[in-house]
Structure 1
Amino acid sequence: MDRKSFLKSGHSPTLLSSFLYFDVSFMVWVLLGPLVVVIMSDYPMDASQKANLVALPVLGGSVLRLVLGYLTDVIGPKRTGQIGMLLTMVPLVWGWKFVDSLNELYMVAILLGIAGASFAAALPLASRWYPPQYQGLAMGIAGAGNSGTVFATLFANRIANYFGDWHVVFGLAIIPVSIVFIIFSIFAKDSPSQPAPRTLSEYGSVLKQRDTWMFCILYSVTFGGFVGMSNYLTIFFNTQYGLSPVRAADFTTVCVIAGSFFRPIGGWLADRIGGIRMLMVLYGIVAIMMASISSLPPLSLITVLLFIGMMSLGMGNGSVFQLVPQRFQKELGIITGIVGAAGGLGGYFLPKILGNLKQSTGSYTPGFLILSGVALACVVLIFIIQGSWKKTWIGSGGKARESQNAIQNTIAS
């Protein structure tokens, strides 16, 4: 690839602005994941309540992604991003100065979902500036903002320990959001070419189709599993192995970094061996990893490797979206928004399953066994449905690559 051609083909300041917006948004979105084990010293919580606290931002992000997606179509991604960052400051200020009960903290958690909805504005803002041959790279650069998760797990509990007050973390988070808001407002620009807004009837026609729900299920397990685990692992390491808040978050950081590294590999493998085969292998591996973790082995290098293997769920995101454009070529922008929202719902239910079963049984074993069963059920589901897929719309490897270019052109619109 010619780097100069890439830089000249789009708008680099907008691409950088999109990345920064996505990065700080992801950091804020998962802030409660590591912090909850510190917060519980002020607000004692049982396993179910802790799970609820880290699940609510994911639920909020899932629902609000559709709202911000609609605004992106109507008023443009730049204005939507500005509104998103301004509204993101509301739960940060609330958590910093005004929270005085667990119920209020639940409200803060829901509002943090505004940051999680940044997908809907950041990605189209960047991608619409670039021609099809460079949109994969542009989307990859903007989407690398999910690295904000690492900042949250690595620094949130350290800052809370240093100041002796977890509220300070919310206050300090306002600083990078404010800086990025200024940079974003100055340098980001909407592309001259903007697609026409989509109607509710268009969404309704897509939701009537069986394959829409199939992809929603698959993506809720891959993306939802990755995000849900990223939020919950600090609680697990702290509760199960007695690690300090900082050490528990450090172990989570290792798993998140590894899982993020797997994401582009998943898309690359799907292009070469096919999305269906890739997903069946992936779900099978994850089912084995989950079942192994359900025995709750002593904390060791092997245990950490099991969790890293489990976080390979992130590889499935690229695999799902290698298949989606082959099935929904005309409704691509609509289907990606629906499937993306379903991924967030999966991230909501995963902590709830682990936390509620821990509360009712006293052990994480049943929760991990159920999650293993869910992954195995996905293998069976794909095995049953792949025949009809291959007969009706699965194309050759060349067609898959063409479809990948298509989704890069419209995934975020």
Structure 2
Amino acid sequence: MSTGSTTAARAAVQRGAGQNLALATAAFALTFWAWNLIGPLSKTYADRLDLDPTQLSVLVAFPVLVGAVGRIPAGILTDRFGGRVMLTAACFVSIVPVLLVGLSGNSYAALLVSGFLLGIAGTSFAVGIPFVNAWYPPAKRGFATGIFGAGMGGTALSAFLTPRLVDGMGLLATHLVMCAALAVMGVIVWASARNAPQWRPSTEPALPRLKAVMRLKVTWQMSLLYAIAFGGFVAFSTYLPTMLVSAYGLAQTDAGLRTAGFSLAAVVARPAGGILSDKVGPLKVCLTSFFGAAIMAVVLSFEPPLEIPAGASFVLMALFLGLGTGGVFALVAELVDPARVGGVTGIVGAAGGLGGYFPPLIMGANYQANGDYTIGLLLLAVTALLVGLFTLKAFRKLPQADLITPRE
């Protein structure tokens, strides 16, 4: 091949990388909006169904469960069928639980079931990471996964727009609009997205592949880190509207606006964490995230006054957690063989989702028992501090060769 044609081919791949990264990020953002449809409407459901704080926290947390556990098979299936097929499937399959949630507004039991199924929308993360990872060289994967991760801004869109759409259109109509948006996105992804030229489907059976991934030390190390970084983000994004309404007496729309600001700060910080990881290394980014989050959790445990003190504290918490989500997957991209990224991402993503499942339950029980969130926030501070110390010890001197799967 001539030099000119080689350069043209590389340029074509670069153009394809940008387009597919944009498509994956857009699909991720929309499915994350769908995943977070219940949290911003917590006051609506609490008033309509006369729910106590514990019942409400269970309802808000339920979609996180399937969104977490479902990432494991989603990651394995992405290695087998590719990101184009799986992103399309995530959009179309999510339509069913979104519709069911819209139809279940008058029954707590029906909401729990449909909210549980709504977690399917949250599995798109484990699909997108290996999909975009394959398009970029190792030196740019922190950037790529960071940009893709900004799609978690779908939670900000949900927090800001969902209560307003419900106020203007009604509960069922809002969910029907989301169903239509997911259908359109599924068509766009199927028509326009492409797997990376060098990507090859894995032909290894799913169960042995999953067992092989689970035997890697790096899988469990990254799972612990991501359970704090992304789990903290998910917990705040889903439960913050409830927390602001109960602790600060805000209206649902005002709480949604502030939650959107929190999510937006984390969204901006995530690609920044990936880019900084490419420049200074993911270890420094992760340590900054965990120790910073620990400090802010202590500050928030004192329930600072609304507006500037509380607002600044929540934004700083979001920035630290966002940096960590970008840093952890930059570390994954460095330490895991590309052929294993889908499987590892599935388990790590599941750990992140589960990290966001339990805090709302603890917060709800804590508030019902004590009338405040102090104990829950202090538990977050201690956990983030311990994980930061673990990260410092585990990755300071551990060579990459001890973590990576040998290339075939």
- Shorter-chain TM-score range: 0.7 to 0.9
Q: Which residue of 2 aligns with 1:314?
A: 322
**Aligned partners of 1:281, 1:8: CA distance in 2, in Å?**
34
Q: Which residue of 1 aligns with 2:224?
A: 217
Instruction: Spell out the pairing of 1:182-201 with structure 2 (5 A cutoff).
Output: 182-191=187-196, 193-198=199-204, 199-201=206-208
Matched letter for residue 9 of structure 1: Q
Q: Does 2:282 correspond to 1:275?
A: yes
- Residue 204 and residue 123 in structure 1: after superposition, are their counterparts in 2 closer, same or farther (change >3 A)? closer
Q: Which residue of 2 aligns with 1:177?
A: 182
**Aligned partners of 2:33, 2:129: CA distance in 1, in Å?**
16
**Aligned partners of 1:126, 1:379: CA distance in 2, in Å?**
28
Q: Which residue of 1 aligns with 2:163?
A: 157
**Aligned partners of 2:378, 2:8: CA distance in 1, in Å?**
47
Whether the 8 Å CA contact 1:38–1:166 is kept in 2: the answer is no
How big is the shift at 1:190?
A: 3.9
Q: Which residue of 2 aligns with 1:76?
A: 82
Given candidates 320, 323, 332, the residue that maps to 1:324 is 332
Secondary structure class of the residue paired with 1:194 = coil
Matched letter for residue 308 of structure 1: V
Structure 1-normalised TM-score?
Answer: 0.85
1:79-104 CA-to-partner distances (Å, cap 9, x unmatched) read 32333222211112212235541011
- Residue 38 and residue 204 in structure 1: after superposition, are their counterparts in 2 closer, same or farther (change >3 A)? same
Secondary structure class of the residue paired with 2:48 = coil
Q: Which residue of 1 aligns with 2:98?
A: 92
Single out whichever of 123-132 and 151-160 deviates more from structure 2: 123-132
Matched letter for residue 214 of structure 1: Q
1:320-356 CA-to-partner distances (Å, cap 9, x unmatched) read 2343355444754432322121111101112122112
Secondary structure class of the residue paired with 1:78 = helix
Secondary structure class of the residue paired with 1:117 = helix
Q: Which residue of 2 aligns with 1:241?
A: 248
How big is the shift at 1:48?
A: 1.5
Secondary structure class of the residue paired with 1:296 = coil
Whether the 8 Å CA contact 1:128–1:194 is kept in 2: the answer is no
How big is the shift at 1:3?
A: 12
Secondary structure class of the residue paired with 2:47 = coil
**Aligned partners of 2:327, 2:208: CA distance in 1, in Å?**
28
Matched letter for residue 327 of structure 2: S
How big is the shift at 1:281?
A: 3.2
- Residue 268 and residue 17 in structure 1: after superposition, are their counterparts in 2 closer, same or farther (change >3 A)? closer
Given candidates 347, 354, 375, the residue that maps to 1:338 is 347
- Residue 63 and residue 301 in structure 1: after superposition, are their counterparts in 2 closer, same or farther (change >3 A)? same
Q: Which residue of 2 aligns with 1:291?
A: 298
Instruction: Spell out the pairing of 1:370-381 with structure 2 (5 A cutoff).
Output: 370-381=379-390
Q: Which residue of 2 aligns with 1:62?
A: 68
- Residue 106 and residue 241 in structure 1: after superposition, are their counterparts in 2 closer, same or farther (change >3 A)? same
Instruction: Spell out the pairing of 1:28-177 with structure 2 (5 A cutoff).
Output: 28-129=34-135, 139-163=145-169, 165-177=170-182
**Aligned partners of 1:179, 1:325: CA distance in 2, in Å?**
31
Q: Which residue of 1 aligns with 2:262?
A: 255
**Aligned partners of 2:278, 2:14: CA distance in 1, in Å?**
25
Whether the 8 Å CA contact 1:10–1:129 is kept in 2: the answer is no
| Uncovered stretches (5+) of structure 1, i.e. residues with no partner | 396-402
How big is the shift at 1:23?
A: 2.2
- Residue 353 and residue 17 in structure 1: after superposition, are their counterparts in 2 closer, same or farther (change >3 A)? same
**Aligned partners of 2:21, 2:292: CA distance in 1, in Å?**
35
How many residues end up aligned between the 2 structures?
A: 394
Secondary structure class of the residue paired with 2:49 = coil
Secondary structure class of the residue paired with 1:21 = helix
How big is the shift at 1:188?
A: 2.8
Given candidates 273, 293, 296, the residue that maps to 1:266 is 273
Matched letter for residue 261 of structure 1: V
